[in-house]
Amino acid sequence: MLAILAPGQGAQTPGFLEPWLDDPAVRDQLDALSSVAGVDLAHYGTEADAETIRATDIAQPLLVAAGLIAGQALLADGPDPDVVAGHSVGEITAAALAGVLSPADAMAFVGTRGRGMAAASALRPTSMMAVVGGKADEVLAAIEAAGLTAANNNGPGQIVAAGAVEQLAELSANPPARARLIQLSVAGAFHTVHMQPAVAELDALASGLATADPAIRLLSNADGTVVGDGAEFLRRLVSQVGNPVRWDLCLTTLADLGVTGVLELPPAGTLTGIAKRNLKGVALFNLNTPDQLPEARAFVAQHAATRDPEAQA
């Protein structure tokens, strides 16, 4: 049972797309995605520094484009995964790989999402901070006491607080017992009330997008459930901008489905790191460069369940 996961904002690193652009066909594909998103993805994925690609309106299209390029290359001639999921903006990648949105519509959506969230972030200085360790109830109480939102619940031992920078400073001054605080490389309080200005713009865009029902099990960040209706998943993509990510519930669903292998799309490492702590015994693969594709395809073939009824009999 194979799960393919797409990472969210903060996973990007300078130059992470460079190895993929040695292939002229991939460069052409990226140019087409850039035109739709309104962002020079080749430049930002190969030449820009960490601070530049930290910007919301750059990071989000960059991550979705990377996932689409790698995902399509990986799955072009092999079996489909059994389930796909993405963390935050990675949900858009997952939706496209599952067939809910076309690649072009996915890039139009993420371009609008990134610009809208960047504009919302500019209204007031906000950010996000991971709280690692501590007791869950004490962590949540400390987050609430600082006036913050538990914007991402990434499973036992990691909850992300989001809100105004002065509220994050208060949390830093009064951290939960036995917890470590890590400032995230994001430029806003995503998945909180601070992002509501971006929701209306996305809702307007979504009304004009065509959807299809997912061809692969597709998990929702809202509650970890498998969503089988494409239009419903798009509605969730819109509302998720202003609501917490329940990755912990996605992990529970992956475990309940009996997933045996997890492959993370580039820039990989964040979600497999979480899976290592929470999905014991599950094989993990970080796909970051095209030279890994043969090994990655073998991993997919090893873990993907067959859909041939005669082969299953």
Q: How many C-alpha atoms does 128 have within 13 Å on its Cβ side?
A: 28
The answer to whether 88 and 64 have CB atoms below 8 angstroms apart is no
pLDDT digit string, tens, across residues 116-173: 999 999 999 999 999 999 999 999 999 999 999 999 999 888 999 999 999 999 999 9
Tell me phi and psi for residue 218, to 5 degrees.
-130, 120
Q: How many CB atoms lie within 10 A of CB 202?
A: 23
pLDDT of residue 306: 54
What 3-state DSSP class applies to 102? Answer: coil
Beta strands in the chain (DSSP E): 2-6, 83-86, 126-133, 149-153, 158-164, 179-183, 217-218, 245-246, 261-264, 283-286
Q: Which residues contact 74 (CB under 8 A, 6 or more apart)?
A: 4, 263, 265, 287, 293, 296, 297, 300
Task: Tell me how long the chain is.
Answer: 313
For 69, the token pair is 């390029």
Question: Angle, nearest 10°, between helix axes 196-206 and 230-240?
Answer: 160
Domain covering 2-121+192-312: architecture:
3-Layer(aba) Sandwich (3.40)
State the Cα torsion 186-190-192-195 to the nearest 10°: 120
Distance CA 121, CA 24 (A): 36
Q: Assess whether pLDDT exceeds 90 at residue 187.
A: no
* Tokens linked to 9: 């904002």
CB of 87 within 8 A of CB of 8? yes
Residues labelled as active-site residues: 88, 191
* Model confidence band, residue 185 (pLDDT cutoffs 50, 70, 90): confident
Instruction: Tell me if 165 sits within 8 A of 124, measured CB to CB.
Output: no
Domains 2-121+192-312 and 126-183 share a fold: no
Average pLDDT over residues 87-101: 97
Run of H or E residues at 233:
helix 230-240
Q: Check residue 107 and give its pLDDT.
A: 97
Share of the chain above pLDDT 90, in %: 92
Place of tokens 């049972």: 1
pLDDT digits (tens, 9 = 90+) for 221-258: 999 999 999 999 999 999 999 999 999 999 999 999 99
Q: How many CB atoms lie within 10 A of CB 284?
A: 18
Average pLDDT, the chain: 94
Residue 77 has pLDDT above 90, yes or no: no
Domain 126-183 = CATH 3.30.70.250: yes
Which residue ranges make up each domain of the chain?
Answer: 2-121+192-312, 126-183
Amino acid letter, 171: L
Tell me whether residue 59 is exposed, middle or buried, using C-beta atoms within 10 angstroms of its C-beta: 0 to 12, 13 to 18, 19 or more.
Answer: buried
What pLDDT, on a 0 to 100 scale, did the predictor assign at position 309? Answer: 34
Residues above pLDDT 70, as percent of the chain: 97
Can you tell me the distance from the alpha carbon of 313 to that of 308, in angstroms, rounded to the nearest whole number? 9
Residue 85 has pLDDT above 50, yes or no: yes
